[in-house]
């Protein structure tokens, strides 16, 4: 079977949770199918090349500075990506597996599927209501974007939602429940078991440095904990438009010796990222907008507990494994875990992790393709 993945960003050239999942799915499916990946041309990518069994087709050179403007995704680049998807018409595919964002590309992809008979599977990690679109883009553009999204997100023949929360959002948009499948293969169970690391009393954050991640609150928690815990060590791993503001807050609170900031680990350094995560005492995330929480699942799989504020939007299947408490008392909970001898005691319902194993990819998609009448 010939499968086309469509996403404006591709891992590891652009690091993000969605991009990681798509790369895992494409890599696993390439073991049994012919897989192509259509994307912007990020630094380090060529126009046409093959990597890990996947055929990449790229256009329009892009950088993070162009991709994000004024702290949000660039509308101009989203329009460019939409028109760029006419390149699909040079190929014949059985399935188009497309990231729902940036939404503007969906009419072109739907047209391709209608004319060629390909099935359209939409990968959905977040469902935004009108209020969120307005808060993100302003009242006029946001309202129009919400209307546009509500029309074209219904174009899929099938949907893969990353969580039960996302699935409920799709149902609320009018998508029939039988067309929605919940699946998110995050944990490379065959690889994670091999990671070894010596435990350290470190707190870690990893993710895009954007305002919705609420690193301001994260740093406030660290400041509070540092008054009690001497020689506290904290690592913020990530990149993004908020990096400058975060560094200024760290300096203002005189936490330069406590908090280390570093860029995302490259694909070649991935084992070092996992070792650092496994060695940490906890992963602390204060995000107010989150999808499934990939880094949280990876942390739990490595035996490191995850601490979240009660307002966290991470879906219940992940929250049920984490330490969740009111943000007011989180500093006390963090101190408790730092002083605990067995950090594993703070991981609950660990049997749930098996639902996120990479080894299940081909089994899941074989079933989905059968439902679509492709096999």
- Residue 357 DSSP code: B
53-112: pLDDT as tens digits: 999 999 999 999 999 887 788 989 999 999 999 999 999 999 999 999 999 999 999 999
pLDDT tens string 243-259: 999 999 999 999 999 99
Q: Does one domain contain both 74 and 179?
A: yes
pLDDT at 187: 87
Count of beta carbons in the 10 Å neighbourhood of residue 370: 10
- pLDDT digit string, tens, across residues 37-52: 999 999 999 999 999 9
98 plus 155 within the same structural domain: yes
CATH of the domain at 334: 3.40.50.2000
Give the domain range for residue 225: 189-355
154 pLDDT tier (thresholds 50, 70, 90): very high
Cβ within 8 Å of residue 84, ≥6 positions away: 40, 59, 60, 105
Average pLDDT on 11-19 reads 88
Q: How confident is the model at residue 220 (pLDDT cuts 50, 70, 90)?
A: very high
- pLDDT exceeds 90 at position 355: no
Say whether both 149 and 242 belong to one domain: no
pLDDT band (50, 70, 90) for residue 134: very high
pTM over 0.75: no
Whether residue 132 is predicted with pLDDT greater than 90 in this model: the reply is no
Residues 122, 163, single domain; the answer is yes
Count of CB atoms within 10 A of residue 51's CB? Answer: 16
Distances in whole angstroms, Cα of residue 19 to Cα of each of 26, 98, 359: 10, 12, 18
Instruction: Find out whether the peptide bond into 274 is cis, omega within 30 degrees of 0.
Output: no
Spatial neighbors of 151 by CB under 8 A, at least 6 apart, are: none
- State the number of CA atoms in the 13 A half-sphere of 60 facing the CB: 19
158 and 35 fall within a common domain: yes
Number of structural domains found in the chain: 2
| Strand-pair partners of 55 | 36, 50
- For the stretch 161-179, pLDDT in tens is 988 889 999 999 999 999 9
Looking at the fold, whether 102 and 243 belong to one and the same domain comes out as: no
In three-state secondary structure terms, 221 is: helix
**Element of type H or E holding 282:** strand 282-284
Cα(368)–Cα(375) distance, rounded to whole angstroms? 9
d(CA 81, CA 121): 18
Note whether 104 and 199 are same-domain residues.
no
Q: Is the pLDDT of residue 291 over 80?
A: no
* 164 lies in the same domain as 250: no
175 burial type by CB count under 10 A (0-12 exposed, 13-18 middle, 19+ buried) = buried
Average pLDDT of the chain is 93
Indicate if 284 and 299 belong to the same structural domain. Answer: yes
Question: Do 163 and 17 share a domain, yes or no?
Answer: yes
Report the relative pairing of strands 48-51 and 54-61 from DSSP bridges: antiparallel
**Local confidence band at 186 (pLDDT 50, 70, 90 cut-offs):** confident
Report the relative pairing of strands 95-99 and 34-41 from DSSP bridges: unpaired
Q: Say if residue 329's pLDDT is above 90.
A: yes
pLDDT in tens, 225-282: 999 998 999 999 999 999 999 999 999 999 999 999 999 988 788 889 999 999 999 9
212 and 154 co-located in one domain: no
Q: Are 269 and 294 in contact (CB under 8 A)?
A: no
- How many angstroms separate the CA atoms of 63 and 65, rounded? 5
Beta-carbon-side half-sphere exposure of residue 90 (alpha carbons within 13 Å) = 7
The pLDDT assigned to 193 comes to 80
- Of the pLDDT bands very low, low, confident and very high (cuts 50, 70, 90), residue 337 is very high
Residues 175 and 95: their CA atoms lie apart, in Å, by 19
Q: In what order do the strands lie in the sheet with 259-262?
A: 259-262, 233-237, 202-206, 282-284, 306-309, 323-325
Same domain, 195 and 255: yes
């Amino acid at each position: 079977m010939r499968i086309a993945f469509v996403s404006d960003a591709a891992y590891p050239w652009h690091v993000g949770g969605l991009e990681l999942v798509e790369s895992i799915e494409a890599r696993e499916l390439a073991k049994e199918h012919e897989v192509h990946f259509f994307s912007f041309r990020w630094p380090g990518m060529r126009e046409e090349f093959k990597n890990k069994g996947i055929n990449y087709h790229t256009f329009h050179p892009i950088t993070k500075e162009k991709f994000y403007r004024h702290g949000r995704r660039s509308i101009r680049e989203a329009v460019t990506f939409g028109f760029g998807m006419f390149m699909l018409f040079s190929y014949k595919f059985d399935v188009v597996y497309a990231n729902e964002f940036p939404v503007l590309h969906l009419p072109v992809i739907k047209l391709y599927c209608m004319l060629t008979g390909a099935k359209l599977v939409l990968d959905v990690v977040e469902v935004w209501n009108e209020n969120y679109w307005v808060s993100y883009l302003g009242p006029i553009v946001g309202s129009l974007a919400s209307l546009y999204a509500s029309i074209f997100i219904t174009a899929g023949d099938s949907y893969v939602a990353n969580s039960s929360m996302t699935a409920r959002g799709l149902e609320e948009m009018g998508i029939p429940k039988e067309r929605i499948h919940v699946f998110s293969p995050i944990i490379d169970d065959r690889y994670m078991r091999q990671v070894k690391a010596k435990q350290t009393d470190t707190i870690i954050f990893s993710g895009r440095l954007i305002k919705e991640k609420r690193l301001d609150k994260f740093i406030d928690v660290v400041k509070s904990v540092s008054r009690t815990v001497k020689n506290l060590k904290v690592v913020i791993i990530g990149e993004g438009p908020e990096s400058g503001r975060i560094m200024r807050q760290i300096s203002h609170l005189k936490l330069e010796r406590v908090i280390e900031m570093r860029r995302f680990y490259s694909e070649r350094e991935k084992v070092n990222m996992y070792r650092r995560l496994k060695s940490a005492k906890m992963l602390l995330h204060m995000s107010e907008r989150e999808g499934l929480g990939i880094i949280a699942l990876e942390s739990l799989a490595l035996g490191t507990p995850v601490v979240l504020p009660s307002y966290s939007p991470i879906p219940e299947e992940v929250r049920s494994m984490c330490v969740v408490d009111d943000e007011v008392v989180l500093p006390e909970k963090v101190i408790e875990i730092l002083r605990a001898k067995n950090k594993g005691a703070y991981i609950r319902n660990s049997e749930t992790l098996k639902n996120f194993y990479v080894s299940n990819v081909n089994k899941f998609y074989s079933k989905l393709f059968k439902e679509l009448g492709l096999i």
